Amino acid sequence: MGKIAIGQAGGPTAVFNSSLAGFIEDVEEEVYFVFGGYEGLVMNHIKKASPDDLARVQAARGVPGAMLGSGRYPFDENGINEALKHLKQHGIDTLVFAGGDGTMAALQRLEETAADEGAPLNVIGIPKTVDNDLGATDHAPGFGSAARFVASTVRDVSRDLQAMKNFEQVRVLETMGRNAGWLAQASLHAGRWPQDGPQYIGVPERAMHLGDVLAAVERGLQSFGTATVVVSEGAAFQSGEQVERSHVNGRVVLGGISSLVKEKIEQHLGVTARAELLGMQQRSASSLISQQDEREAYDAGRLAAQWAQEGLSGQMVALERRESGTYHVDLVPKALTDVVNAGERKLPEAFIEEPEQYRRWLTPIIGGPLSDYPAPLKRSEGNVIHKN
Amino acid sequence: MGKIAIGQAGGPTAVFNSSLAGFIEDVEEEVYFVFGGYEGLVMNHIKKASPDDLARVQAARGVPGAMLGSGRYPFDENGINEALKHLKQHGIDTLVFAGGDGTMAALQRLEETAADEGAPLNVIGIPKTVDNDLGATDHAPGFGSAARFVASTVRDVSRDLQAMKNFEQVRVLETMGRNAGWLAQASLHAGRWPQDGPQYIGVPERAMHLGDVLAAVERGLQSFGTATVVVSEGAAFQSGEQVERSHVNGRVVLGGISSLVKEKIEQHLGVTARAELLGMQQRSASSLISQQDEREAYDAGRLAAQWAQEGLSGQMVALERRESGTYHVDLVPKALTDVVNAGERKLPEAFIEEPEQYRRWLTPIIGGPLSDYPAPLKRSEGNVIHKN
C-alpha cells in the first residue's frame, strides 16, 4: 500500500470540495493532505488526514471554497525540489492535485523532475475552472455552476431593472472568465423572454465595436425601455486594451471594462446606466450549484483516486461528451502534456455566431434550464423611453 | 361591486410579485393595474387586468422585479390631482399600492385630497422594503429574502477567501440598507464558524472608528489568516460623511464606503484587500428567497384585497410578532399616519450590542438557519499571515 497526497490549487469553485469528497470516497490507501496548494508542498504543510479530517471533507460536497486551502504560488525550480523533498520525507509516492492549467503544468514538472532524479512520483490531475479555459476536456468541473450563477443572476437583475425603467435604463454586468468568454456568453441562457437576457454580450475573443454595443442597447430601449449588457472581464473595445483592475502579488487582475462601457452608453445615449461586477459569488454561490456539475466534480475525484491506486500517472481526468443522443460524458485519461499543450481554451467562433448552438451545448452542464418565469406584462400603449 | 386598482412602487424585491399574486388570489371585484408605480397614476397608465394578465401575475410568485413596473417618481400636488382625475375616469374607488415609506405617504395624501374634494378614495398599503426601514411593523416583506442573500453570500465568499489566503487576505463587502443597518447586520448570521462570518460589521447607526476596524481585521488575520468586513452603504467613519456614489434623477445613491475601508486596511495593515458591492442581486436573487418571507409577502397581498373589499381605508398591512413562544406574526391594520410618523426605522441599539438577540429575532424571517457547513480544516502548526 502506498501513500497518496492530495491538494487543491488556484481560485476555488462552488464544487471544488466535491472533487475532494469524491476522492476520499474511493481511496483505500493512506491519504495525506497538502494545505494551501503548491505553497503547502514547498513549505511542507503536509499531514496525514485524520478520521475527523476525512469526515469533514466528506461533509463538504457543495460547500464552496477549498477545504485544504488553495491559492496562487509561483512554482520555480527551487520550489519543485523542496516539494519533492517533502513528499519523499513523508514516503508519498502519488500526488493528486485539483486545479487549472497552471496546476496541470506544475504536476507535469514534478513528475518529470522526480523521474530524472530516479525517485518516481505518480501524478494525477483533477480539472477545475470557472473560466472553462482548460484544454483537452469538453468542459471542467466548476464551470457549470458558475455559468448557472451568471445566467440566473442576469435574468433576475434584468427583471429588477425592467421594474425600474423610469429610474435607470441600462445595467452593465461584468463576469469572470480571464481571456475566455464562456462565462459571459452563458448569460444568453438567462431566460425565454428577450428582455430577461442581455441585449449585448462582450467576450474577449472578439473586439467590441462601440457602434454595435450602442445599437444593441438602443434596440433594447426601443423594445423594453431597458437594456442589459454583459461583458467578460477580458473583453475590450477594438481600439483599446484589456482593462487591468490591479496587480495582486504580481498577477494581473482584469476588471473594470463594465465601467468603461457604462460611461460610453451614458455619454452617447443620454440614459442612466449602472455597472456592476458579479463578483466572487460567481465561483462560490452555494445556492446556484448545477447538480450535473457537482456530480461531475465528485466523479472526477473518485476516478482520480481509482487511477492513483492503479498506478496510472501523468494523466488528467478529462470529460469527453458523447457526440449524439442525450447528454453523457465519459471520464477519460488525457496526458498532462496534451492538456498543457492545448493552451488557453477560447470560446469557439460557432458558439459566438450561433447562440442556439451554445445554448444546446450548455444546458445540461448548468443542470438544465432555469425554472420558467411568466412573460413580463406590457401596457398596450407601447413603450416610453426615459432619458435624462 | 367596486373597482380596485393596484400598483407597485419603489425598488423591487425578490417577493414583491408574491404580494401581487396574493392580492389577485383574494380579489373578487374588478381589478385595474397601474403600470410603472405613481408615474403610471399620473400618466394614466392604468388598465383593466385581462384574464391573461391575471394568470401571469399568479405565476409570478417568487419571480423578482415588479410585474406591473415600479420605479421612483416625485409625486407633487399636480401629480396627485392628475392621479385622482384618472382614477375617477376609470371609476376606481379603491387604490392598493405596495411599497415603502414614500409609498405610504403618497397613499395618505391621495386619500386626504380625494376626501377634501368630496370624491372619497379608499387606500390600502402593502409593505415592501429590503432595507427594513419601514416603521410601525415588526419587519416588512422583501427584507427576509435580502437578509438571507446577505448571510449566505458572506458565508460563501468568506469560505472562498479562506482558500485564497496566500493571494488576498481581506474582503470588504458592501450591502444595501440606506440609513439603516438591518441588512449589513444580517451577515452575522452567516455561519456557525467564526471565519464564515464577518470579523467587523459597519452600520449607519454607529460611526465606525478606524482603530476598531483594524483591530477586528487583525484578530481575523491572527486566527484564520483572513478577515471579512461587511459595511452598510450608509455607514461612515466617525470623522467622515456618508459616501455618495452618485445622484440619479436627483436622488442620492449611497455607496463606495467599502472602497474607502479597503484602502485604509491595505494602507495600515500591509495586506491585500478587495472591496465588492453585493449589488442588485441582494434585492432580486430568486435562488435565496426566504420561504417565510415569501409567504408573508403573499399573505399581506391577500389581506390587502380582503380589507379593500371590506371598505377599510387609510391602513397598511403591518406584521405584528407575538411576544412569546414560537415565531408567529399576525397581520394587522396600522394607520398610514402612524407608519409615516414612525419615520425611518433604524437598527435598535440592542441588536448592535447583542448580536445573539438579533440572531434570534432574524432566524425565522430569513427562513431558518442556513444549511450547516463542516468546520474548516486547520493545519496543526498554527496560522501564517501573508503580507505584501
Q: Which residues on chain A are in Cβ contact (under 8 Å) with B72? A: 164, 166-167
Answer yes or no: is pLDDT of B246 > 80.
Answer: no
- Structure confidence by residue, pLDDT tens digits, A43-99: 999 999 999 999 999 999 999 999 999 989 988 999 999 999 999 999 999 999 999
| Residue indicated by cell numbers 496566500 | B166
- Kindly provide the ipTM of the predicted complex, given to two decimals: 0.95
Which of A64, A167, A251 minimises the CB distance to B249? A167
Exposure letters A2-19 (e unless 16+ CB within 10 A, then b): eebbbbbbbbbbbbbbbb
**Alpha-carbon gap: A29 to the closest alpha carbon of chain B (Å):** 21
CB atoms within 10 A of CB B211: 10
Name which of A276, A281, A290 to mutate to probe chain B: the one with the most chain B Cβ atoms within 10 A of its Cβ. A281
pLDDT of residue A123: 98
Q: Residue A279: CB partners within 8 Å, gap ≥ 6?
A: B157, B276, B277, B278, B279
> Could you write out the DSSP letters of every residue in B57-101?
HHTTTT--B-TT--B-----HHHHHHHHHHHHHTT--EEEEEESH
List the one residue out of B19, B45, B16, B22 whose CA is nearest residue B32: B45
Classify B252 as helix, strand or coil. strand
In this structure, what DSSP letter does residue A342 have? Answer: H
**Alpha-carbon gap: B56 to the closest alpha carbon of chain A (Å):** 6
- Structure confidence by residue, pLDDT tens digits, B348-357: 999 999 999 9
Cβ–Cβ below 8 Å for A379 and B45? yes
CATH 3.40.50.460-classified regions of chain A: 147-285+349-362
Taking phi over 0 as left and psi of -120 to 50 as alpha, with beta for the rest, B177 belongs to left
How high does pLDDT run on average in chain B?
Answer: 94
B248, B74 in Cβ contact below 8 A? no
Taking phi over 0 as left and psi of -120 to 50 as alpha, with beta for the rest, B225 belongs to left
Which of A72, A153, A279 minimises the CB distance to B166? A72
Cβ–Cβ below 8 Å for B45 and A12? no
Which of B12, B281, B379 minimises the CB distance to A153? B281
**Alpha-carbon gap: B113 to the closest alpha carbon of chain A (Å):** 25
pLDDT cut 90: percent of chain B above it: 88
- Structure confidence by residue, pLDDT tens digits, B121-136: 999 999 999 999 999 9
pLDDT of residue A379: 76
pLDDT of residue B248: 66
Give me the active site residues of A, please. Answer: 131
- Structure confidence by residue, pLDDT tens digits, B57-96: 999 999 999 999 998 998 899 999 999 999 999 999 999 9
- In terms of CA atoms, which chain B residue is nearest residue A166? B71
pLDDT of residue A381: 47
pLDDT of residue B364: 97
**Alpha-carbon gap: A65 to the closest alpha carbon of chain B (Å):** 4
Cβ–Cβ below 8 Å for A164 and B59? no
Dist CA A159 CA A196 (whole Å): 6
- In terms of CA atoms, which chain B residue is nearest residue A15? B160
- In terms of CA atoms, which chain A residue is nearest residue B281? A157
Phi and psi dihedrals of A27, rounded to 5? -100, 135
Question: If 0-12 CB within 10 Å is exposed, 13-18 middle and 19+ buried, where does residue A205 land?
Answer: buried
Dist CA A37 CA A74 (whole Å): 11
Cβ–Cβ below 8 Å for B163 and A71? yes
Answer yes or no: is pLDDT of B382 > 60.
Answer: no
Which of B67, B274, B284 minimises the CB distance to A377? B67
Which of A11, A160, A166 minimises the CB distance to B72? A166
pLDDT of residue B387: 58
Q: Residue B51: CB partners within 8 Å, gap ≥ 6?
A: none
In this structure, what DSSP letter does residue A65 have? Answer: B
- In terms of CA atoms, which chain A residue is nearest residue B52? A377
Q: Which CATH superfamily groups domain B144-287+349-362?
A: Phosphofructokinase domain (3.40.50.460)
pLDDT of residue A239: 82
- List chain A residues with pLDDT less than 70: 1, 245-251, 253-254, 380-388
CATH 3.40.50.450-classified regions of chain A: 3-141+288-342
Cβ–Cβ below 8 Å for A57 and B277? no
Size of interface A-B (CB pairs under 8 A): 196
> In terms of DSSP bridges, do strands A46-48 and A30-34 run parallel, antiparallel, or are they unpaired?
antiparallel
The sign of the torsion formed by the CA atoms of B205, B209, B210, B214 equals negative
CA torsion, points B54, B75, B245, A155, in degrees to nearest 10?
10
A253, A30 in Cβ contact below 8 A? no
pLDDT of residue A237: 93
Give me the active site residues of B, please. Answer: 131
Q: What is the third-level CATH fold of B3-141+288-342?
A: Rossmann fold (3.40.50)
Select from 3.40.50.1980, 3.40.50.880, 3.40.50.460, 1.10.760.10 the CATH code of A147-285+349-362: 3.40.50.460
